[in-house]
Structure 1
Amino acid sequence: MGSHDILSDMFSRIKNALNKKITAVVVLNSNLSQRVLDVLCTEGYLRGYQVKSFREIEVYLKYSGEDPVIRKLERVSRPGKRVYASAKDLLPVQSGVGIYVLSTSKGVISDSVARKLESGGEILCKVW
């Protein structure tokens, strides 16, 4: 069996839960997953999350009325094809409506923070 991409699995679970209008979903726990969830909570895309055990995190999804706040959630960099960008190369997502989540030497941060810190890195996902 090949390697398992925990971030792709987390994004799939979140997208499926949003399509079914579920308020909470359980995803696999990892340090990277928690850092990405921290950014999504800080940027206002999620209500929050709670670590249930060393294997599971419960993610609380956010809705604006009947519509989910996250309209699109895409994995950019994958295990087979890593995608890197400098701070200057980061263009706004959907004309500034969305964000990129990056893994940098300064931690997992959003694209707006990366521009302020002038730090590039691996683009993990884009959200809008």
Structure 2
Amino acid sequence: MTTDPIADYLTRIRNAIIAKHRIVEIPASKMKTQLTEVLQEKGYIRGYKIDANLNSVQPTIKIALKYDLFTKESAIVKLKRVSKPGLRKYVAVAAMPSVINGLGIAILSTSKGIMTDKEARKMNVGGEVLCYVY
């Protein structure tokens, strides 16, 4: 069992991108599913499917990674974990981070659910900065 499931989630995606895999399987949880939904909404992945396998106890998320047709480069250049179990990073609306001057996204866990930094500013809520994606 991992102590930081979100870091494990990001590392599995990062490793799949380096290996040029089209699909990556990750053990499912509610937070990982919400993170995957945000990545799909913002166009960083093609899609996902939650697979409840009868042989295993925990369902898995199958994520279809997105690559450029001509250059074969991934849509995700970098995934960076910000808030860690040993040191949580919380931000208010006024101190909301901007990733590469708005070209990337910061994913936050707020009282209204998991959302991007732009959505959190619009809804006027702060929260825990989970990761940066660009």
Both proteins in one fold, TM over 0.5: yes
2:66 alignment partner in structure 1? 62
1:99 alignment partner in structure 2? 105
Deviation at 1:56? 1.2
Gaps of 5+ in 1: none
Q: Aligned runs of 1:14-53 on 2, under 5 Å?
A: 14-53=13-52
Deviation at 1:4? 2.2
1:74 aligns to what SS in structure 2? strand
| TM-score, length of structure 1 as denominator length | 0.94
Between 1:51-60 and 1:69-78, the stretch displaced more is: 51-60
1:113 alignment partner in structure 2? 119
- The two structures, once aligned, show a CA RMSD in angstroms of 1.2
Deviation at 1:96? 1.1
Deviation at 1:47? 0.9
Deviation at 1:5? 1.4
CA distance, structure 2, for counterparts of residue 87 and residue 95 of structure 1: 16
Deviation at 1:88? 1.5
Letter in 2 for 1:10: Y
* Paired positions, count: 127
Letter in 2 for 1:69: A
Letter in 1 for 2:103: V
Percent of pairs with identical residues: 40
Divergent runs of 4+, >2 A: none
2:96 alignment partner in structure 1? 90
Gaps of 5+ in 2: 53-57
CA distance, structure 1, for counterparts of residue 12 and residue 101 of structure 2: 26
- State which structure, 1 or 2, has the greater radius of gyration over its C-alpha atoms: 2
CA distance, structure 1, for counterparts of residue 35 and residue 93 of structure 2: 18
CA distance, structure 2, for counterparts of residue 121 and residue 79 of structure 1: 15
CA distance, structure 1, for counterparts of residue 111 and residue 42 of structure 2: 20
Are 1:6 and 1:28, in contact at CA under 8 Å, matched by a contact in 2? Answer: no
